[in-house]
Amino acid sequence: MLKRFNEYDNFIFDFDGTLADTADEVLSCIEKAFNKCNVSFDKERLNPSVMGPSLAEIAKIVKPDLTDENIVNNIVSEYRKIYDYDEKDITKLYDGIRDCLLYLKQNNKKIFIATNKPKIPTLRLVKSLNIDFFDDVYMVDKYDDKKLTKQQMIEEIVSKYNLPKEKTIMVGDCLSDIEAAKKAGVLSLVALWGYGADKKALKDKADFCLEKITND
């Protein structure tokens, strides 16, 4: 993605499925949370295809007959206890990501994260994956008094750093990333290595598509 996008100055990255492959870690922690709450489920339903929605929605996908919101909330709570501070986290960066980020920084580009992940695991992973050199990191709970949508994150980054929208690209792997970029008035690039299931829809709606990180 490197030289091909030299004319653009600002890059806002989603995290899960874009910068890092978090699926194995997240799914493992979800399974532990279900077990901790003594809730049985079909393990075949717990696979990378469920990645993307909120944890509460994932819990209901994994166990469609789960209608008790108290149980759902308990599963989410247990997941947070397990995932937020997991010292044996098996998350890994996708091939070429760190070199890509370093290239952008070395060429005076501004780089940001806009993720629906909460603050604690996001900042933990940014540090442990050795990519703690972003200009700013926006998470769903960046502020204590309100939750941010992906669109709001992009809009605030653009406003705070006075970024020209025509020179700014949102990089993500899901349709929601692309739609948020369009609503915020910036360009969109879909990372086709990520979790988004409908690749055709992603390709049709994004301004740019990338199969993998390359030097051209």
The CATH number given to whatever domain includes residue 117 is 3.40.50.1000
Domain identity same for 161 and 56: no
- The answer on pLDDT for 95 being more than 60 is yes
For a pLDDT cut of 70, what percent of the chain falls above it?
Answer: 97
- The answer on pLDDT for 216 being more than 80 is no
Q: Is residue 143 part of a domain?
A: yes
Domain identity same for 129 and 192: yes
Domain identity same for 51 and 15: no
8 Å CB contact between 135 and 101: no
pLDDT of residue 98: 95
pLDDT of residue 199: 82
Of 49 and 188, the one with more pLDDT:
188
Domain span at 53 = 23-83
Quote the tokens at residue 118: 């909460």
Mean pLDDT of all residues in the chain? 93
pLDDT of residue 145: 87
Q: What is the pTM of this model?
A: 0.92
Domain identity same for 104 and 166: yes
Domain identity same for 74 and 13: no
Domain identity same for 7 and 44: no
Give CA separation, 54 vs 43, 154, 200, in Å.
Answer: 19, 19, 23
pLDDT of residue 53: 76
The arithmetic mean of pLDDT across residues 115-130, rounded, is: 95
The arithmetic mean of pLDDT across residues 10-14, rounded, is: 97
pLDDT of residue 166: 97
Domain identity same for 75 and 134: no
Domain identity same for 106 and 189: yes
Domain identity same for 15 and 118: yes
Single-letter amino acid code for the residue at 181: A
Domain identity same for 8 and 67: no
pLDDT of residue 140: 93
How deeply is 108 buried, as exposed, middle or buried, from its count of CB atoms within 10 A (0-12, 13-18, 19+)?
exposed
CA 52 from centre of chain: 8
SS3 78: helix
The arithmetic mean of pLDDT across residues 23-37, rounded, is: 95
Lowest mean pLDDT among 1-15, 104-118, 166-180: 1-15
- The answer on pLDDT for 81 being more than 90 is yes
Nearest to 114 by CA among 135, 139, 134, 97: 139
Q: How confident is the model at residue 2 (pLDDT cuts 50, 70, 90)?
A: low
Domain identity same for 127 and 177: yes
The arithmetic mean of pLDDT across residues 36-47, rounded, is: 94
